[in-house]
Structure 1
Amino acid sequence: MADLEVTYRGTVYPWHCDHMGHMNVMWYVGKFDEATWQLFSSLGITPDYLRGQGRGMVAVEQKISYQREVNAGDVVLVRSTVLEVREKVIRFCHRMENAATGEVAAVTVLTGVHIDTTARRSCPMPPELVAAAQKMITDDDPGI
């Protein structure tokens, strides 16, 4: 995944750390969420699209594998890829790395569903969004 676009880069602050001295799980999820919106935006799922079309994206599943600790002062980056796209569903992966060492700190796989925000039901994504996501598909599935 080293050649994939970085969707998040940020610092681990002391207030991100728990009594064990490493970044608490809630912050991994938050940083992955920021990466998700960067990934979606690169596919055309932008705030303007969502608001203008009355659409939304909802997470229906997330699996996380924590692999290495990160500590206050560490810079982390997230690289993202699309694993699968269907008419209403996108499954994607984020890998969080320690920017200094390149070690993978955590991996998450998420499944998102495209919805009509008025009906509160799933609905098909426009063909151009599906096509953009299909172009990003890799077989780099971490198997979680």
Structure 2
Amino acid sequence: MEQEATYRGTVYPWQCDHVGHMNIMWYVGKFDQANWNLFARLGLTPSYLRGSGRGMAAVQQNITYKRELLAGDIVEIRSHLLEIRDKSIRFRHDMINADTGEIAAFCEITGVHTDRSLRKSVLFTDDIREIALRHLAEPAEA
């Protein structure tokens, strides 16, 4: 299933390291921005999280780097929900060089739905589970 972009931006010169390509800290930052757009699509909006006292915590994150990104490159991230469980979701972000269409990196993350005051995992609401089930998708081959 084709997904809309969850992030679109530019690689700036100050995001590049001594080798001349985007430093790994910026990959993580761009993937993090995509997280919040994906979460909002699933009903985990800022107003829901604030109003319910809930949060999302990453418990595992694996990044695979495929191609360099250089200053001036336009980056797009497309996100795919891979799995929903009672208290957690697993999803993948594909970071694409928008000019070449090549996957520059991909990231798979497991996130847990939490009660911020109890600091414990909690069940997703039925509404969020229903939305998430409609968003389950297979990622593009890398």
> Does TM, normalized by the shorter one, top 0.5?
yes
Which residue pairs with 1:6 in the alignment?
Answer: 5
Q: Is the 8 A contact 2:81 2:137 kept in 1?
A: yes
Gaps of 5+ in 1: none
Q: Is the 8 A contact 2:80 2:138 kept in 1?
A: no
Gaps of 5+ in 2: none
- Shift of residue 140 of structure 1? 2.5
Helix, strand or coil for the counterpart of 2:35? helix
Greater displacement, 125-134 / 93-102: 125-134
Q: How does 1:45-60 map to 2 (within 5 A)?
A: 45-60=44-59
Helix, strand or coil for the counterpart of 2:75? strand
Superposed CA deviations along residues 43-98 of structure 1, whole A, max 9, x for unmatched, are 11011100100000000000000000000000000000100001100000000000
Q: Is the 8 A contact 1:59 1:110 kept in 2?
A: yes
- Shift of residue 142 of structure 1? 6.3
Q: How does 1:35-114 map to 2 (within 5 A)?
A: 35-114=34-113
- Shift of residue 16 of structure 1? 0.5
Q: How does 1:19-38 map to 2 (within 5 A)?
A: 19-38=18-37
- Please tell me the residue identity of whatever aligns with 2:117: T
Alignment partners' CA distance in 2, 1:45 and 1:8: 17
Mark the CA change 1:141 to 1:114 in structure 2 (over 3 Å): closer, same or farther: farther
RMSD after superposition: 1.4
User: What TM-score, normalized by structure 2, do the two folds share?
Assistant: 0.96
Helix, strand or coil for the counterpart of 1:105? strand
Q: Is the 8 A contact 1:93 1:141 kept in 2?
A: no
Mark the CA change 1:57 to 1:88 in structure 2 (over 3 Å): closer, same or farther: same
- Shift of residue 4 of structure 1? 1.3
- Provide runs of 4+ in structure 1 moved above 4 Å: none
Helix, strand or coil for the counterpart of 1:102? coil
Alignment partners' CA distance in 1, 2:129 and 2:102: 32
* Identity between Structure 1 and Structure 2 (%): 56
